[in-house]
């Protein structure tokens, strides 16, 4: 996959994650029933671990995906000599998201004993972003747009 | 700025604008807040669940189902008011408690778990009173409460973390949400099969007095 396509796929995934986390945040704030095929989503949302410093975890998730999407968006405009720094940043952000997702999934499985399908969707997206950020980091070619190269 | 960046930023902006617009639309088109006291079609059997904490006369014709949050100051005053009603009309009222921990209260769920764990050892109301007395207790303080009530601490710790206790709280919460409850304390007052949904304890006091005057 070319660097441009890879960047677009990461951007699309980050936007999908932004939608998932944003919805979870909105439902959390509204104290609404979360659409779910079991009681797991409400169970996870009401658990004390669904907040950090009084702020819903979904809010942090929303900021994470938004910043990831922004990084992908500004990446093509960054000068060639700073492209490496951008891929380091993406890798760092992708790894952070993945590790946090692993920890949150652990909490769901072993502490809350419930599975929230929206959280699973977010964990899958975060894992995919991590894998793609590794690929982007390993890619030797610089991110250049064919029409503008 | 390259066209690729412009395109991606436009896409991101579009998603954010549509998302914010939909959230605002959803927020501002919510149904208006219902009056504090209203007749309800809900049947008593729909809100009774086995194993919920209760007191008063189990065969009383007047039944109060209390949806309460243990970190909510108004619920504390409501609990005192309901206690007065139970004393005043001894043997004429049945009170059933259901958890409704609000998201805005950081420790409400923890308190609900502690009270539910105490309920497993027959000390729900005692734990509720201790929590209401302080309403800022941390986990360590909750343990002190449990110890002062003479609970089996090993069992209490186990229950606090158990799936069953969490499920009981979540079931109450889901029932409350299904009934359209948005604030605490909210009461369902049944006289026989006829039910009313009442927000706030002052309205409850008025309605119970009306009922008792009529009987």
**What number is the ipTM of this complex?**
0.82
Confidence at residue A149, expressed as pLDDT on a 0 to 100 scale: 41
Question: Which residue of B lies nearest to A42 if distances are taken between CA atoms?
Answer: B170
Each residue's pLDDT tens digit in chain B (215 positions)? 688 899 999 999 999 999 999 988 888 877 666 667 888 888 888 888 889 999 999 999 999 999 999 988 889 889 999 999 999 999 999 999 999 998 878 889 999 999 999 999 999 999 999 999 888 889 999 999 999 999 999 999 999 999 999 999 999 999 998 888 888 899 999 998 889 999 888 889 999 999 998 76
- Written as tens digits, the pLDDT of chain A (149 aa) is 788 899 999 999 999 999 999 999 988 887 666 788 776 787 787 677 888 887 889 999 999 999 999 999 999 998 888 888 999 999 999 999 999 999 999 998 888 888 889 999 999 999 999 999 999 998 866 566 555 44
Domain ranges of chain A: 3-142
φ/ψ region of B51 (left if φ > 0, alpha if ψ in -120 to 50, else beta) reads left
CATH code given to domain A3-142: 1.20.1440.130
B23: which chain A residues are within 8 Å (Cβ-Cβ)? 26
| pLDDT on residue A31 | 65
Question: Cα A56 from chain centroid?
Answer: 16
Given B11, B106, B166, which is nearest A54 (Cβ)? B106
β-partners of residue B187 are B66, B198
- Mark yes or no for CB contact B23/A26 under 8 Å: yes
Nearest C-alpha neighbor of A13 from the set A81, A66, A83, A87: A66
Closest chain A C-alpha to B144 CA, distance in angstroms: 20
Tell me which residue in A8, A77, A112 faces B2 most closely, judged by beta carbons: A77
B205 closest CA partner among B93, B128, B125, B115: B93
In the prediction, which pLDDT does B166 show? Answer: 93
Residue of B nearest to A75 (CA): B5
Distance CA A65, CA A69 (A): 6
Dihedral sign from CA coordinates of B96, B102, B105, B110: positive
| Chain B positions with Cβ closer than 8 Å to A | 1-5, 8-9, 11-12, 15, 19, 23, 26-27, 101-104, 106-107, 109-110, 161, 163, 166-167, 169-171, 173-174, 177-178, 182
Closest Cβ opposite residue B15 in set A4, A15, A46: A15
In angstroms, what separates the C-alpha of B44 from chain A's closest C-alpha?
Answer: 22
């Amino acid at each position: 996959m070319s660097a441009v396509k890879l960047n677009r796929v990461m951007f699309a995934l980050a936007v999908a994650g932004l939608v998932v986390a944003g919805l979870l945040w909105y439902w959390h704030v509204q104290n609404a029933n979360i659409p779910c095929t079991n009681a797991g989503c409400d169970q996870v949302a009401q658990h004390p671990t669904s907040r950090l410093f009084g702020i819903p975890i979904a809010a942090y998730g929303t900021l994470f995906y938004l910043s990831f999407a922004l990084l992908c968006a500004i990446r093509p405009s960054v000068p060639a000599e700073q492209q490496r720094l951008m891929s380091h940043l993406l890798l760092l952000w992708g790894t952070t998201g993945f590790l946090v997702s692993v920890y949150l999934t652990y909490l769901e499985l072993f502490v809350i004993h419930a599975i929230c399908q929206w959280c699973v969707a977010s964990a899958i997206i975060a894992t995919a972003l991590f894998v793609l950020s590794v690929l982007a980091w390993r890619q030797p070619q610089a991110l250049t747009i064919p029409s503008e190269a | 700025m390259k066209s690729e960046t412009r395109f991606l930023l436009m896409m991101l902006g579009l998603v954010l604008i549509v998302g914010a617009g939909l959230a605002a639309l959803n927020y501002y088109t919510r149904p208006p807040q219902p009056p504090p006291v209203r007749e309800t079609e809900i049947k008593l059997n729909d809100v009774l669940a086995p194993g919920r904490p209760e007191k008063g006369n189990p065969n009383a014709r007047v039944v109060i189902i209390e949806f309460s949050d243990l970190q909510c100051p108004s619920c504390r005053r409501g609990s005192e008011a309901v206690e007065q009603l139970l004393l005043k009309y001894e043997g004429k009222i049945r009170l059933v408690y259901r958890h409704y921990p609000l998201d805005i209260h950081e420790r409400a769920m923890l308190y609900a778990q502690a009270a539910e764990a105490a309920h497993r050892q027959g000390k729900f109301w005692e734990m509720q009173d201790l929590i209401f007395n302080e309403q800022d207790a941390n986990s360590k303080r909750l343990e002190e409460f449990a110890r002062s009530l003479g609970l089996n601490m090993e069992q209490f710790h186990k229950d606090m973390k158990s799936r069953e206790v969490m499920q009981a709280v979540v079931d109450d919460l889901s029932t409350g949400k299904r009934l359209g409850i948005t604030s605490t304390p909210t009461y369902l007052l049944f006289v026989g099969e006829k039910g009313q949904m009442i927000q706030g304890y002052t309205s409850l006091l008025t309605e119970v007095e009306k009922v008792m005057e009529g009987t």
